[in-house]
Amino acid sequence: MDMNLNGKTALVTGAGRGIGLAVVRALTAEGAHVVAAARTVTPELAATGATPVVVDLSDPAGAGHVVACATAERGGVDILVNNVGGGDGGLSGGFLDVTDAQWAEVVDLNFLAAVRVTRAALPALLATRGAIVNVSSIGARVPHGGPIPYTTAKAALTAFGKALSEEFGPRGVRVNTVSPGPVRTAMWESPTGYGAELAESMGIPHADLLAGIPAAMGMLIDRFVEPEEVAALVTYLASPLAAATTGADHIIDGGSVKTA
């Protein structure tokens, strides 16, 4: 299906791997010019043909820098995908184990980075009557399903998208949220990621934890969600085909969340 994105300019954060990399690939395949923000330009990102911008979005100055690069490169921005996130390492304990510094780091990366990038990009998006897609998590709806700072920050991100849609929808900017369940990314699969830490805390092999996650989370598809599946939804929401869709939170979790 042609998403009518040929020639559009998209800014994607957290683009080096996982969901962000899949989104970059999906948008470029549709003919969009992608400015890809990442801490590190991975070989996989370089191979997409996107314009990479090396930036640390936990630095407050990073948002203005990456948006300035995007507008200088293309003269405007049609699509913003706020995907940067993570910071869940070392958080397999409970609430009383989390320090102020860890709270600040996780909230900054998963919520405030999107706030800053959106604020910097909105003048350009208003000019093009563009679209914003925020990548949140089902942890915003089932906060016991991950580290408490992470799920709390994602809940804030989901509410942020709804509030933005109310304010800027009448001015032509659509805002939607995509909330994945467990996705086959480094967060779960890396030997140093959250999944490995969780397995260690439970006293079980990492492979056994991964094999049991779909059933444990009530998924109906017996597997993790693929990054490309999330990217396809993001691409659709960013496209003119979704012109009447705004202010919504779209769950892609294999049926894990049982409520509307």
Residue 112 gets which letter from DSSP? I
Pair type for strands 51-54 and 79-82: unpaired
**CA-to-CA distance for 142 and 145, rounded, in angstroms?**
6
Other beta carbons less than 10 A from residue 255's beta carbon? 13
Active site residue 194: no
**CA-to-CA distance for 57 and 142, rounded, in angstroms?**
26
What tokens does 197 get? 């830490």
Contact between 209 and 202 (Cβ < 8 Å):
yes
Q: Which H helix or E strand runs over 69?
A: helix 61-74
Catalytic residue among 150, 168, 194, 236: 150
Q: Tally helices (H) and strands (E) across the chain.
A: 10, 7
What tokens does 148 get? 């408490």
Contact between 110 and 86 (Cβ < 8 Å):
yes
Active site residues: 150
